[in-house]
Structure 1
């Protein structure tokens, strides 16, 4: 199957009761757009937002910045959740910037690089960890536990080469590391499978800096519970 961007999704800041972000705002409700969108490295987290022009990142303590510039989720996983939850889930509903078709996003290796459209190059850095805002936005009982047990969290990417993208653009995997640390592997190491933690260091410098610091601690200590 051809690997493609099914939709490019942007969010606007909305006031809600279920976020701890300053001002009570969230941009999790992302909707597909038809026009081309510029993507670039936004800058350091805490100061910068996301990598897509026009996309609202409200909780900059935990989201956005260079190492979480773009969040990607697979349409195939949304379809699976539709069947399980018995409700329609539109592109962007999980807060993803890009909804893809034909790619097992959670099997993406940390450090894997994609060319999206003619110019944009992205590099996988980490897994999405579910939070209160995500759970309350979906409104599903026990959502954090269910999402964690599924271990298909979607991937965060940094921008290696900026570019402009739109729905329908092809995705080419231009580099796939030979280590075992996929997005799902990292997610399970962080959540349900601490025995995997000493092996995360194999992903090296491509890891999100915070995850790299943890990986170094785990590898040095051999302690799978920290």
Structure 2
């Protein structure tokens, strides 16, 4: 199966979930047009409190739809946009991509992968117990975050459900994703 977009979501207000849209427009250097997290500087409320002048490395949140299938087996029902992502994907292992990977989405949009989304307690407020399903530890005791990746917009473009996603890896050596 080829990598593709299954849903797009945005919200002009800071809220945990984002409503699905027919399309979203990615704006180079800013993020999703009209989304509360768009901007040159950080927009995540907790990070704004720490330092509002930091560059926004979290302009676009991508999440693999396969996660919904996995948590569904444990009794949780999650749909696109409900975990706050802007772009829901299928057929691409987002969590295995290295920092700096370019994702060409649809006809023109390009995002650069910056790191992992660091899930917070709001996930348990959304559905009690879900946080334990999406964050854990590997055999070596390292934290494993499975709630998608963050990116910045390199090239503007409209993104719609059904759009293909092409992966362009950066030159090696590759740096694994860490929370951003």
* TM range, smaller chain: 0.7 to 0.9
Selected match of 1:40 from 27, 47, 71: 27
Selected match of 1:182 from 154, 176, 180: 176
Distance 1:41 1:67, change over 3 A: farther
Q: Please show how residues 1-226 of structure 1 align to structure 2 within 5 Å.
A: 1-13=1-13, 26-34=14-22, 36-41=23-28, 43=30, 51-57=31-37, 59-62=44-47, 66-84=56-74, 86-137=75-126, 139-141=127-129, 143-149=130-136, 150-183=144-177, 186-187=178-179
Q: Please give the per-residue CA displacement for 1:15-38, whole angstroms capped at 9, x wherever unaligned.
A: xxxxxxxxxxx322112211x321
Paired residue secondary structure (2:135): helix
Q: Looking at secondary structure, tell me which structure has more strand per residue.
A: 2
Measured after TM superposition, the shift of residue 65 of structure 1 is 5.9
Paired residue secondary structure (2:32): coil
Higher relative contact order (CA 8 A, sep 6+): 2
Q: Please give the per-residue CA displacement for 1:19-65, whole angstroms capped at 9, x wherever unaligned.
A: xxxxxxx322112211x32111455xxxxxxx112323474443896
Paired residue secondary structure (1:134): helix
Q: Which runs of 5+ in 1 are unaligned?
A: 14-25, 44-50, 188-207, 209-226
> Residues of 1 paired with 2:5 and 2:25: CA distance?
14
Greater C-alpha Rg: 1
Q: Which runs of 5+ in 2 are unaligned?
A: 38-42, 49-53, 137-143
Counterpart of 2:140 in structure 1 is none
Measured after TM superposition, the shift of residue 180 of structure 1 is 4.5
Q: Looking at secondary structure, tell me which structure has more helix per residue.
A: 1
| 8 A Cα contact 1:11 1:28, kept in partner | no
**TM-score (norm: length of structure 1):** 0.64
> Residues of 2 paired with 1:29 and 1:112: CA distance?
26
Q: Please give the per-residue CA displacement for 1:56-106, whole angstroms capped at 9, x wherever unaligned.
A: 34744438963111000101112111112x132111111111100100111
Paired residue secondary structure (1:95): coil
Measured after TM superposition, the shift of residue 132 of structure 1 is 2.5
